[in-house]
Amino acid sequence: MADKVEEPKNEQIINTEAAKAKAAEVAGNVKEGATNFIEKVKTDKTLMAVCCGVAAVLVIVVFVILANCVFGGPKRAVKSYTKAYYIKMDAKKSCKAMHKNIVESVYDDVDECVDKMKDTFEDIKDSDVKYKSYEIVNSKKLDKDDVEDYAEMLEKYYDINEKSLKKVVRYSVNVDAKGSDNDKKLYIYVGKIKGKWYVIDQSSRK
């Protein structure tokens, strides 16, 4: 036999109606408050300026977050390059980590860079050298004068407009290999060119 469905008690109906009425009242108050605030903003120039300022800051913050998500930051560029070149030996990603103009100053195009890089990796494998891990020890943001020196170098040798280089960060990176004789201690320099970070220089360090 099916369970008998009980009719709702009058008290339950009253409570439900009361809850609906309270919710409607709260919604009305919120709407009225928002309307009053908007009208106040329209007439109060100081408050309007503050609101506009806050909105502008929020837009900038959102833009920076999106830019970092799309293009990545300097540390991400270093990690991507170091992992691609030393750990994975990925020729395509290794070439991609560098600006196109830098690549084409050495090779005819990116495709030749990839082919030559593959040959380099084969030679490394044949020598039984295997890099197993890396560590970013620290970083240093270069000052204005050093950035300008790099900007002039990029324009002179790689035809990259010096005004397009905005920042340069130097990373100290340790790369560990099987057999301590093959360990590497590096300085890897990344530059921000037209909003994107590229590896622009690399050298050994003591």
- Quick: pLDDT tens for 115-170: 999 999 999 988 888 999 999 999 999 999 999 999 999 999 999 999 999 999 99
159: left (phi over 0), alpha (psi -120 to 50) or beta: left
Better pLDDT: 95 or 23: 95
User: Residue 110 class from Cβ within 10 Å (0-12 exposed, 13-18 middle, 19+ buried)?
Assistant: middle
Residue from 202, 192, 197 nearest 163 by CA: 192
Q: Count the residues in the chain.
A: 206
pLDDT at 138: 97
Greater confidence (100 vs 127) lies with: 100
pLDDT at 42: 61
CB distance 81 to 186 below 8 Å: no
Question: What pLDDT score does 181 carry?
Answer: 81
* Residues 90-101, mean pLDDT to the nearest whole number: 96
Is residue 57's pLDDT more than 70? no
Overall average pLDDT of the 63-87 stretch: 75
What pLDDT is stored for residue 27 in this prediction?
65
In this predicted structure, which of 3-7, 51-55, 170-174 has the lowest mean pLDDT?
3-7
Q: Which two tokens stand for residue 150?
A: 């790099």
pTM: 0.66
pLDDT digits (tens, 9 = 90+) for 2-50: 444 444 444 444 455 665 666 667 667 666 766 776 676 667 756 455 5
pLDDT band at residue 178, thresholds of 50, 70 and 90?
A: confident
Q: Distance from CA of residue 148 to its chain's centroid?
A: 24
Quote the pLDDT of residue 54. Answer: 47
Q: What is the CA radius of gyration of the chain?
A: 30
- Quote the tokens at residue 40: 């106040």
190-204 average pLDDT score:
96
| 3-state SS record for 147-206 | HHHHHHHHHHHHCCCHHHEEEEEEEEEEEEECCHHHCEEEEEEEEEECCEEEEEEEEECC
